Amino acid sequence: MSRSVGLENITMQFGDSVAVRDVNLAIGSGEFFSILGPSGCGKTTLLRMVAGFLEPTRGRVLIGGRDMAGLAADRRPTAMIFQSLALFPLMPVWENIAFGLEARGVPKAERRRRAEELLALIALSGYGDRLPGALSGGQRQRVAIARALAVEPQVLLLDEPLSALDLKLRQHMRAELRALQKQTGVTFIYITHDQSEALAMSDRVAVMKEGLVEQVGTPRALYDDPHTHFVARFVGENNAIPGLVAAVCGDTVAVDTNAGRLTGRAGARLAAGQPATLFVRPEGLRVAGDGEAENRLDAIVEAIDFEGAFGMLRARRGDGERLLAAIPNTGLGQAPAAGAVAGFGFAARDAVVLADG
């Protein structure tokens, strides 16, 4: 895959505050690439540097191999969709879509033709003469996307565009966005703090923390094989069990913890005696009898939160640390009751061990 966007040693400093620090990313042509992280981690600042609204303090932004230094936002082969959508309320839908073309001097008949093509692409044929206020939230979202695509950008930049929508509509729009990206072949760079959005839509994801990129990978790789404690804790739920490495045998690591000796996969190079934390996902835990699993944890059940397809069992280990186990809906009838001491087992392949520090 050829590279569409390259960020080389990008740093952005505001006075004494460093918002983005030495970021290097290579984003492929036609890729749906998400940047995920908590508020204040620098992800929107990074997007604004790609768009041209900010010039990096150090480093280079390249699009299609061309250095964007000194090139204003309206001269770059990008388009951006903001959280607010910023549609013109008194302008018909088709004119909203064609606004960027008008600014480029495209004749009205050609603007209308292009707007109608994009309305068909977003499944809103016949809506061109309506005002944005007459549309639903999801329809307005699609109009904002069509307006961005009208100028035929190489790269579409999306800054948390679904954050104002309700859950069901957000889930629906994820699928629509992903399908639209595949259909157009435009490179998408998507900013979000919502893990489920990033995991559901992206080809690859960069996880950021405090201005740094912690890890880049496919959604599955980030979830199954986190490289740092932050990624393990931020991407999905995880049970964290600290201890000391007892032995390393190939890719399998034994860790001595307050819950006894446990084994998992090595997430990095580890040595005996090294402080480390074993992470195991809630869905990796099973209610187990004696000797039923490679690893066993005992805990007092506090409650089970019903979440539809599964129940999240909340418990406390002997050391006071929490334990979460995801139990399929069909198995909730056999789940231990609140107050019971239960055993939870997991396989070594379902746990990853990462060095502390």
pLDDT digits (tens, 9 = 90+) for 154-164: 999 999 888 77
The C-alpha atoms of residue 302 and residue 310 are separated, in whole angstroms, by 17
pLDDT at 292: 62
Q: Which residues contact 258 (CB under 8 A, 6 or more apart)?
A: 241, 243, 317, 318, 319
For the chain, the domains span: 3-228, 237-355
May I ask the CATH class of domain 3-228?
alpha beta
pLDDT at 11: 97
pLDDT at 289: 65
CATH code for the part of the protein at 237-355: 2.40.50.100
Counting other chains too, the contacts that 245-252 makes at CB distance below 8 Å and 24 or more residues apart are 245/270, 245/271, 245/272, 245/273, 245/274, 245/275, 245/276, 245/353, 246/272, 247/272, 248/272, 252/348
- In tens, the pLDDT along 272-286 reads 999 999 999 999 999
pLDDT at 183: 87
- In tens, the pLDDT along 84-123 reads 778 889 999 999 999 988 888 899 999 999 999 999 988 8
pLDDT at 138: 83
pLDDT at 30: 94
The C-alpha atoms of residue 104 and residue 153 are separated, in whole angstroms, by 13
- In tens, the pLDDT along 45-67 reads 999 999 999 999 999 999 999 99
Q: Which residues contact 143 (CB under 8 A, 6 or more apart)?
A: 85, 87, 93, 96, 97, 122, 124, 132, 135
Which positions of the chain have pLDDT values less than 70? 1-2, 289-292
